[in-house]
Structure 1
Amino acid sequence: MDWGAILSNTLSYILSPVTIAYALAATGLAVHFGYAGLLNFGMAGFMALGGYGYAISVLSFGIPWWIAMIIGLLAAALFAVILGIPTLRLRSDYLAIVTIAAAEIVRLLFTTQVFDQFTNSADGLGGYHEGFRAANPFPPGQYGWGPWTFNETGLWVRVFGLLMLALAILLVWSLMRSPWGRVLKGIREDEDAVRSLGKNVFAYKMQALVVGGCIGAMGGIVYVLPSAVVPSSYTTSLTFFLWTILLLGGAATVFGPSLGAVIFWVVIALLGNLLPEMADAGILPMTAIQAGTLRYILVGVALMLLVIFRPQGILGDKREMTFVK
């Protein structure tokens, strides 16, 4: 087995755009679930709206890239309001069902032939990178070392993604230390008690849904910056990966989603490189394709053990988890 290649491919995921995008989306999910107690299983829909809103604005309307990103965030905010009005008064399990269905509706809308002029249906969209890449402040060349070697475009995508992640972390940290954040945590613990103090619980939940949804949409934008927007990327498995990341790092934490994203994708990359090599070497009694699928089984088992033995996650505080009382 080529341990050098396995290690290099694994370590490259620490600064991968995919890892950064998932860290952003999981940070938005932390606002929804970790702080507001909203059981949202539709984050894939917010990411899709961010990515498609950005790409369509650039390709179909010729809007500058930075304004197109704002449009993607506004699309996610509008989706949060439309989704929240009929659902935020539902019990948490019903909310989970509705949000996962809403995300699937969004994905299917982007695949339908009705909007083919704008979305290119199931084939997705590409070729919207010119404006963003033209704003690249780094001159042409190779940057970094070892597994973290990038050309100027790869570096620009990663730097921009990390800046957005830092802003999202700072925003969440500031909000949760404010009176607004303390009310939100109170709603998570006992919304009837907060309502008895004269607070509009529905309004706070709606605000949390919008804030977390916009952060998730920014994750969706970063996700599509290196390549293309493809509707098959926004299936329910994306949302389940985000929940794994959130629970791994710590739901009610500021840095937990970022740590969870790094650990998740490093482990996925390690198993994705190691298990097929072990299968080809005869160590595992299966084909390389079967070994590639085995990694998701192992991650699922690890998630179950995590929820059983450390439900608060790596950085979380068990006292803050409403489902551990």
Structure 2
Amino acid sequence: MDFLSGLFIDFGQQILSSVTAAFAIAAVGLNLHFGYTGLLNFGQAGFMLLGAYGFAITVEMHGGFWLGVLVAIIAAVLFALLLGIPTLRLRGDYLAIVTVAAAEIVRIVGGNQGLAPITGGAAGILGSVYQPAFTALSPFPQNGSFQVGPYNYPMTAGDSWYLRIVCWVVLAITLLITYLLTRSPYGRTLRGIREDEDAVRSLGKNVYARKLQALVLGGVFGSIGGVLYVMSASVQPDSLGRTTTFLLYTCLLLGGAATVFGPVLGSVLYFMVIIGLNDFVSQFVPSSVMNEQQIPQFGWIVVGVGLMLLVIFRPQGILGNKKELSFGD
């Protein structure tokens, strides 16, 4: 019973986590790309990292919180235009090739020691550099903590209630935007582009412009998710690499692409699975069989196998509609 109670407490802690909300926001952006428009973006982590760097560097240069957010958004827009303008007129998977390469370029440049005075190099930018600009806006006391059931967090400092509330409010706003957008004629055009862009083009719609707009908006969501993701940690280039994009696709496909709440459900379930595996293995598997360093690796294996099975047997995800979206059709 102690194991089960501890497991449920860990589940609730992860559901409330700012990391879960930040991943869900980035996955909502990826959903606009892949789920609704059919754009194979394998560089969403690049948008997240670019937004995190844009925000942190601006604040470090005394630009303030709101200017930092604006710079993060502008960086995402420019990045999307740079990727989309030369590739979205082409057919096939050119965007996938370009985005995965561009995201790696952002990561490598960010970790370059020659740029350490700006980006911090491989060590990144410490959270203490930019977090005060965020916490200064808190309506809660700067000191002290608040307990809700078994969960006791600081009011403002660090990984606080304030950060959690902001992250989930921003997530709610992105979901509202997605809901209104995808149920409008514009959203139906995006779905049409995903299914048959030639048919949409024959109706007089500018397919290229619509795809570029979707890439920009989804990239902005990814950038905002990146800013919130580093609010409880630091900006480190290797923490937002290829693996992050893989995780975002896992969250998206698990919950259901081309659904409003699919990315949120997928993000919550993904982190619950990871927490559950870690707790179960730590409790019941002897250290002689699997030590603490091997437990996260085992989790990656399970998630990878689970993703393959999901794509094979339920490609539409939990909330998705198989008639609308599935691989290979």
TM-score, length-normalised on structure 1? Answer: 0.94
Q: Secondary structure at the match of 2:238?
A: helix
Q: CA deviation at 1:323?
A: 2.9
Deviations 1:178-224 (A, max 9, x none): 11111111100100011111111111000000000000111001101
2:101 aligns to what?
101
Deviation at 1:30, TM superposition (A): 0.3
Q: Tell me the distance in 2 between the aligned counterparts of 1:219 and 1:264.
A: 17
Counterpart secondary structure, 1:128? helix
Residue in structure 2 matched with residue 15 of structure 1 by the alignment: 16
Q: Select the residue among 227, 233, 236 that pairs with 2:242.
A: 236
Deviation per CA, 1:116-158: give whole Å up to 9, x if none.
Answer: 2210111110221112111111124332424432111201101
User: Does 2:295 correspond to 1:294?
Assistant: no
Q: Distance in 1 between matches of 2:147 and 2:138?
A: 16
> For 2:166 and 2:66, how far apart are their aligned partners in 1?
12
SS at match of 2:323: helix
Instruction: For 1:227, give the aligned amino acid.
Output: A
Tell me the C-alpha RMSD between the 2 structures.
1.7
Q: Is the 8 A contact 1:41 1:100 kept in 2?
A: yes
Measured in 2, the distance between the counterparts of 1:184 and 1:292 equals 38
What is the CA-CA distance between 1:299 and the residue it aligns to?
Answer: 1.2
Cα distance, 1:324 vs structure 2: 5.0
**Amino acid of the structure 2 residue aligned with 1:219:** G
Rounded to whole Å, the distance in 1 between the matches of 2:26 and 2:74 is: 16
Q: What is aligned with 1:150?
A: 153
Deviates more, 1:267-276 or 1:11-20: 267-276
Q: How does 1:1-325 map to 2 (within 5 A)?
A: 3=3, 4-60=5-61, 62-126=62-126, 127-139=129-141, 140-153=143-156, 154-280=160-286, 285-321=289-325, 323-325=327-329
Secondary structure of the 2:152 match is strand
Structure 2 distance, partners of 1:148, 1:186, is 45
- Give 1:55's aligned amino acid: A
- SS of aligned partner of 2:293: helix
For structure 1, which segment, 44-53 or 2-11, has the greater mean C-alpha deviation from structure 2 after superposition?
Answer: 2-11
Compute the displacement of 1:270 (Å).
1.6
- Residues 83, 95 of structure 2: 8 Å contact kept: no
Residues in 1 aligned to 2:152 and 2:176: alpha-carbon distance in whole angstroms: 28
- Greater alpha carbon shift after TM alignment, 125-134 vs 216-225: 125-134
Q: Distance in 1 between matches of 2:280 and 2:296?
A: 9
Kept in 2, the 8 Å contact 1:143–1:150? The answer is yes
Residue 87 (structure 1) shift: 1.5
Indicate the SS of the match to 1:31: helix
| Displacement after TM superposition at 1:305 (Å) | 1.4
Q: One-letter code of the match for 2:146?
A: Y
- Per-residue CA shift, 1:252-288, capped at 9, x if unaligned? 0111100110010111112123213333366xx3333
In structure 1, how many angstroms separate the alpha carbons of the residues matched to 2:37 and 2:320?
A: 15
CA–CA separation in structure 2 for the residues paired with 1:198 and 1:266: 46
Gaps of 5+ in 1: none
Deviation at 1:2, TM superposition (A): 5.9
Residue type at the aligned position of 1:45: G
SS in 2 for 1:27: helix
Name the stretch that deviates more: 241-250 or 302-311: 302-311
Q: Which amino acid aligns with 1:159?
A: I
Give the secondary-structure state (helix, strand or coil) at the position aligned to 1:311: coil
Shift of 1:79: 0.1
- What secondary structure, in the 3-state scheme, does the structure 2 residue paired with 1:190 have? helix
1:60-119 CA distances to partner (integer Å, 9 max, x unpaired)? 2x1121221121011011100001011213334332122111100011111113322210
- For residues 103 and 64 of structure 2, what CA distance do their matches in structure 1 show? 27
Partners of 1:231 and 1:147 lie apart in 2 by 34
Q: How many residues align?
A: 322
8 Å CA contact 1:39, 1:92 repeated in 2: no
| Gap change, CA 1:112 and 1:5, over 3 Å in 2 | same
